[in-house]
A and B are shown apart, each in its own frame.
Chain A
Amino acid sequence: SQTIHQWPATLVQPVGSPLSLECTVEGTSNPNLYWYRQAAGRGLQLLFYSVGIGQISSEVPQNLSASRPQDRQFILSSKKLLLSDSGFYLCAWSAARGSGSNQPQHFGDGTRLSIL
């Protein structure tokens, strides 16, 4: 069966420090991968998605970047964190069976990021 791992679960970082959050998927090949951010009491905002190694699409301009160095690895990074980067970050995957192919997304347990 497929599983998704996301770490760390919580992270407290000072303003101006770098960030690296990692997400890995097991049990599937060539998944679509997604990074979302969720503000407290709100819905999810899509930050990045990827349909393959090295292929990253950014949905909103921001202080963050994403990379996909391996098929089932998705990394969210920042060189210098801002206070506004605080939030709950979620990674997700879906099967890539054609474009717009009605696939559910499967989420990790998220990382709670607090910027001090």
Chain B
Amino acid sequence: SQQGEEDPQALSIQEGENATMNCSYKTSINNLQWYRQNSGRGLVHLILIRSNEREKHSGRLRVTLDTSKKSSSLLITASRAADTASYFCATALTGGGNKLTFGTGTQLKVEL
């Protein structure tokens, strides 16, 4: 089974609204990362949050991590049509080196 599960699987919002995606995982981690994938392209790294961090910001992105609940959330504020993509969380397991286990992703559609 997948280490990371994103929720929701799909999300459709209007431009200017905020988008929130959630990720749950099962085992102890070194860090959790969020990636974005445009259709038919490779993944682009967005943000990395370490297991001892609770919140991190990058531009319009805000990521939180709750290791007690084994969950993370990605918030995109003031969304734009260009944010339309699939978003994946990935976990680096404790003792797993830099290998990542990816979730199944959230498909975000931002409409004009």
A44 touching B102 in the complex, CB below 8 Å, given contacts A102-B30, A110-B42? yes
The answer to whether A108 touches B88, judged by C-beta atoms less than 8 angstroms apart, is no
Number of interface residues of A (CB under 8 A): 30
CB of A22 closer than 8 Å to a CB of B: no
The answer to whether A100 touches B102, judged by C-beta atoms less than 8 angstroms apart, is no
Inter-chain contacts of A43 with B (CB < 8 A): 2, 4, 88, 102-105
Q: Which stretch of B59-67, B75-83, B92-100 is in the interface? A: B92-100
A101 to B94, alpha carbons, bound, how many Å?
Answer: 10
A105 to B37, alpha carbons, bound, how many Å?
Answer: 13
Interface 1/0s, chain A 42-54, versus B by CB < 8 A? 1111100101000
Number of interface residues of B (CB under 8 A): 29
- Chain A residue nearest to B103 (CB atoms) is A43
The answer to whether B41 touches A102, judged by C-beta atoms less than 8 angstroms apart, is no
Q: How many A-B residue pairs have CB under 8 A?
A: 70
A103 touching B98 in the complex, CB below 8 Å, given contacts A43-B88, A43-B105? yes
CB of B45 closer than 8 Å to a CB of A: yes
CB of B31 closer than 8 Å to a CB of A: yes
The answer to whether A106 touches B30, judged by C-beta atoms less than 8 angstroms apart, is no
Interface 1/0s, chain A 18-62, versus B by CB < 8 A? 000000000000001010100000111110010100000001000
Interface 1/0s, chain A 82-106, versus B by CB < 8 A? 0000001010101010011111111
A101 to B31, alpha carbons, bound, how many Å?
Answer: 9
The answer to whether B42 touches A104, judged by C-beta atoms less than 8 angstroms apart, is no
Residues of A within 8 A of B (CB): 6, 32, 34, 36, 42-46, 49, 51, 59, 88, 90, 92, 94, 96, 99-110, 112
